[in-house]
A and B are shown apart, each in its own frame.
Chain A
Amino acid sequence: MTKAITVSGLHKSFGRTHALDGLDLDVERGEVHGFLGPNGAGKSTAIRVLLGLLRADSGAAQLLGKDPWHDAVELHGRLAYVPGDVTLWRNLSGGEVIDLYGRLRGGLDKDRRAELIERFELDPTKKGRAYSKGNRQKVALVAAFASDVELLILDEPTSGLDPLMEEVFQSCVVRAREEGRTVLLSSHILSEVETLCDRVSIIRKGSTVESGSLADMRHLTRTSVRAELAAAPNGIGRLPGVHDLEIEGHRVALQVDTDKLDAVLRALTESGVRSLTSTPPTLEELFLRHYQDDVATAGAGQAAEAMTR
């Protein structure tokens, strides 16, 4: 079976700004794929190319085995999209908008719609102008999750949702995966990505810098280890892959490349371990590690962000 999304070497520029600069992305069918990147990295531009709203300058992109530009209409019957900033028509009710999108996607599950409205605590009779940001977001989420589609493309879908609704959202994503749907989730809420996503792609300045399962990615980074020992540690500083070593009497704190963890633990047990905490790198740390360089060039990032907005 073909992959849900394959993108290779995608380029898209707006004038002199290169929003996408050789982006690669692979999403397997049935997985929840996290799509991470700082503001202006090109996430929304990539999603718009996948939706056939923008035409790539060069590179290849396939969605469910089809061309996102040429087969846009057919594909759009098989996917649902939720933008990060939902705008509604002032004089249409939320319920009307949900049904409109359902119809435009070729069908809506009525029972599912009712259930989602209940779970998201949405009043579908209010007019568009009366909804708060979070409620506008819910309108789009209900429309998306109630559609019978293979692929969900969610671009920062939970902005404006309260923590309770965030949980409802997460359970909807889990259910979508159980039903065999594919989800591309662009998000800045890293805990959300960590909980939901099977695999993650991190992009920066329009190209992919890291892609894989969270376990794989952790493997490439450092684990932080704190231990209280029976005796003073011996020779740990000489082990390969050890960084930021701090020794204070019998206490030791260090960072170690995850693939060198084994040797460090052996060395620690030699001195007798009283207590030990080992923390795998959080997604946040992974994320920050990739973006540290960006801080220096934040200006360029902001310019690119202006493009995608």
Chain B
Amino acid sequence: MTAVTTAPPASPAPARRTGGRGHLAGTGPLLRLALRRDRVIVPVWLVVIAMMVLSMPNTLKEVYGTTAQRADLMDSLATNASLRALYGPVFDQSFGGLTAWRVGAFAGVFAAVMSLVIVVRHTREEEETGRQEMISSAMVGRRAPLTSALLTALVANALLGLLVAAGLAGEGGAGALALGLGIAGVGMVFATMAAIVAQFTESARLAKGLTSALLGAAFVLRAAGDSATADGSSLLTWLSPVGWLENMRSFGAERWWVLLLFAGAIAVQTIGAYELAGRRDVGMSFLPSRPGPAHGRLGTAGALAWRLQRGAVIGWSLGFLAAGIVFGGLTEGATDLVGDNENTREIIGRMGGQTGLTDAFLAAMVGILGMVGALYIVASVLRLHGEETSQRAEPVLANAVGRLRWAAGHLAVAFAGATLIMLLAACGLSLGYGHDFGPIVGACLVQLPAIWLLGSLAVLLHGVSPQLAVGAWGVAGLALLIGWIGPALDLPQPLMNLSPFSHLPKLPGQDLAWSPVLLLTGVAVALTAAGLAGLRRRDLATG
């Protein structure tokens, strides 16, 4: 239901388009409100992203300790398109320069995710929940909510930039500053982009999803550009804000003028967001939601669960298919790269497999997809938690629906959905790679026990107590962290073993060891059963 003003109003014209006096009134209190609401989540984001960047020099010193090793890396990057697509080109052989190469793009992406979540949370989500209406009934100017949301994102990104710049200052002050500013710049570009997208959608979820898709596109543009050229000069790279970050050439010959691109994009998008926001009514959007059917066919708790999670499953499926195709396409090239670098060979070996570099690369990619798939299953299982704490489960369970049947619907979507996305990832990989369909499907499916285990842990935590449920994110995050930086850091095996993924055979390449696969599956089944037993016994969350 849109209320976009198209024609100027007839008779007693009510004010100008974006009119109204004091349209920034109340920004201060709203900013304080936003910072207070985000007092936990933003510091967590900042610490995680900063740690990711700041831990890198030490890791690199271990792997590329000698000048010869670094020269080797430079050579391989110059000739290898696949690795450039993943990380971008190296502009300087110092540890600072290598840090910027290795994590710059990823840190930028994380900063962008943080920023888009912040902005949507304080704009569209407020309108969707109806809180904005009461806020706007007070002395709050029309531009104050958007302004305070953007300022919140600015504060978070500025702090992140500062952390990075200060933390890496030892590697070179100018480079650290450039990298910090670049990461914060990517964050703000996507903060302002989210501000625009939020004007078009009625739901916060959709606004976040669409902005994330744009972010994914920006990353792919950069990857495509970098695979084509060795120095980030491709037009495709320049089209992507993530590409600007690498083109700052932090720790190399810094190109400070690239900051103007960030500033320009941020300014243009900010103006656009304000213009759009001024042309619509509170709570309305430019893309109105379509009316639903007058008669529904949903008749079971399971059908409801599928209906609620359908969109997410489709989104993840497309994402995994696309990621599979991209990774599959990189596979051929990956082998040339590693061929003449003993250390990279070792890393890839540690990350994924022993024999056959193609297999090792594929195994590493399958492993990454598996770990990201764990995020899907945790999110999906925790829909139970969301439904319960938002009181939507209560009326459902007040019908002739048992708790187990209610939970089973969501869990079926979670566990079968994880299977589906891994199968699609396998299709994508073998499509991109061009052969080995069978082994790749097998490799992807072998990831499932570990994914299921993390999902079943979420079931257990939620079943024991709804307060514990979000702890499942912590566990999944830890597994991801271990899988991501563990091999590079050469963590001790007992620590690596904390992640269920460490126990899986590295396929393709290794022999399929059935015992860990069966064991993990068994544990997953047991945890799920225990969680469901707990869910039957405990009180329903009332608030």
Q: Are A71 and B20 in contact (CB under 8 A)?
A: yes
Binds A, one of B47-55, B127-135, B219-227, B318-326: B127-135
How many residue pairs at the A-B interface have CB separations less than 8 Å?
A: 125
B85 to A: closest C-beta gap in Å:
41
19 interchain pairs (CB within 8 A)?
Answer: A14-B3, A48-B133, A51-B136, A51-B137, A52-B20, A57-B10, A69-B20, A70-B15, A70-B20, A73-B21, A74-B21, A76-B137, A76-B140, A77-B139, A82-B134, A92-B37, A101-B138, A105-B139, A307-B1
Determine the chain B residues whose CB is within 8 A of the CB of A80 once the complex forms: 137
Determine the chain B residues whose CB is within 8 A of the CB of A15 once the complex forms: 1-2, 288
Binds A, one of B25-33, B183-191, B206-214: B25-33
CA distance in complex: A140, B138 (Å): 12
Determine the chain A residues whose CB is within 8 A of the CB of B138 once the complex forms: 76, 81, 101, 104-105
CA distance in complex: A87, B29 (Å): 18
CA distance in complex: A77, B29 (Å): 14
Instruction: Tell whether A81 pairs with B10 under 8 Å between CB atoms, given A52-B20, A69-B20, A74-B21.
Output: no
Q: Are A73 and B10 in contact (CB under 8 A)?
A: no
Q: Output the residue of B3, B23, B288 with the most chain A CB within 10 A.
A: B3
Identify the 5 closest CB pairs spanning chains A and B, nearest first: A81-B137, A104-B138, A73-B22, A70-B15, A53-B282
The contact of B22 among A53, A74, A96, by CB within 8 Å, is A74
Determine the chain B residues whose CB is within 8 A of the CB of A81 once the complex forms: 134, 137-138
Q: Are A48 and B282 in contact (CB under 8 A)?
A: yes
Q: Are B283 and A83 in contact (CB under 8 A)?
A: no
B positions within 8 Å CB-CB of A: 1-3, 5, 9-12, 14-16, 19-23, 25-26, 29-30, 33, 36-37, 40, 129-131, 133-142, 281-284, 288, 389, 543
Q: From residue 188 to 225 of chain A, which have CB atoms closer than 8 A to chain B? A: none
B94 to A: closest C-beta gap in Å:
43
A199 to B: closest C-beta gap in Å:
23
Q: Are A69 and B139 in contact (CB under 8 A)?
A: no
CA distance in complex: A229, B231 (Å): 108
The contact of A104 among B16, B29, B284, B543, by CB within 8 Å, is B29
Determine the chain B residues whose CB is within 8 A of the CB of A53 once the complex forms: 133, 136-137, 281-283
CA distance in complex: A60, B15 (Å): 11
Confirm or deny: A23 has a beta carbon within 8 angstroms of a beta carbon on chain B. Answer: no
Determine the chain B residues whose CB is within 8 A of the CB of A101 once the complex forms: 134, 138
B279 to A: closest C-beta gap in Å:
10
Q: Are B283 and A58 in contact (CB under 8 A)?
A: no
Determine the chain A residues whose CB is within 8 A of the CB of B131 once the complex forms: 87-89
Confirm or deny: A59 has a beta carbon within 8 angstroms of a beta carbon on chain B. Answer: yes
Confirm or deny: A103 has a beta carbon within 8 angstroms of a beta carbon on chain B. Answer: yes
**A68: nearest chain-B partner, CB-CB:** B14
**A51: nearest chain-B partner, CB-CB:** B137
A116 to B: closest C-beta gap in Å:
17
CA distance in complex: A54, B9 (Å): 13
Q: Are A59 and B543 in contact (CB under 8 A)?
A: no
Q: Are B9 and A100 in contact (CB under 8 A)?
A: no
Q: Output the residue of A17, A81, A140 with the most chain B CB within 10 A.
A: A81
CA distance in complex: A169, B283 (Å): 29
**B141: nearest chain-A partner, CB-CB:** A73
Q: Are A130 and B29 in contact (CB under 8 A)?
A: no
Q: Are B36 and A67 in contact (CB under 8 A)?
A: no
B161 to A: closest C-beta gap in Å:
27
Determine the chain A residues whose CB is within 8 A of the CB of B136 once the complex forms: 51-53, 76
Instruction: Tell whether A58 pairs with B141 under 8 Å between CB atoms, given A51-B136, A53-B133, A70-B20.
Output: no
Determine the chain A residues whose CB is within 8 A of the CB of B9 once the complex forms: 55-58
CA distance in complex: A143, B25 (Å): 19
Q: Are B2 and A14 in contact (CB under 8 A)?
A: yes
Determine the chain B residues whose CB is within 8 A of the CB of A65 once the complex forms: none
Confirm or deny: A236 has a beta carbon within 8 angstroms of a beta carbon on chain B. Answer: no
B286 to A: closest C-beta gap in Å:
13
Q: Are B543 and A87 in contact (CB under 8 A)?
A: no
Q: Are A14 and B1 in contact (CB under 8 A)?
A: yes
Determine the chain A residues whose CB is within 8 A of the CB of B282 once the complex forms: 48, 53-54
The contact of A131 among B1, B135, B389, B543, by CB within 8 Å, is B543
Determine the chain B residues whose CB is within 8 A of the CB of A83 once the complex forms: 130, 133-134
Confirm or deny: A148 has a beta carbon within 8 angstroms of a beta carbon on chain B. Answer: no
Q: Are B29 and A56 in contact (CB under 8 A)?
A: no
Determine the chain A residues whose CB is within 8 A of the CB of B30 once the complex forms: 104
Q: Are B543 and A55 in contact (CB under 8 A)?
A: no
**B3: nearest chain-A partner, CB-CB:** A14
Confirm or deny: A85 has a beta carbon within 8 angstroms of a beta carbon on chain B. Answer: yes
Q: From residue 86 to 141 of chain A, which have CB atoms closer than 8 A to chain B? A: 86-89, 91-92, 96, 100-101, 103-106, 129-131, 140
A162 to B: closest C-beta gap in Å:
18
The contact of B12 among A58, A86, A100, by CB within 8 Å, is A58
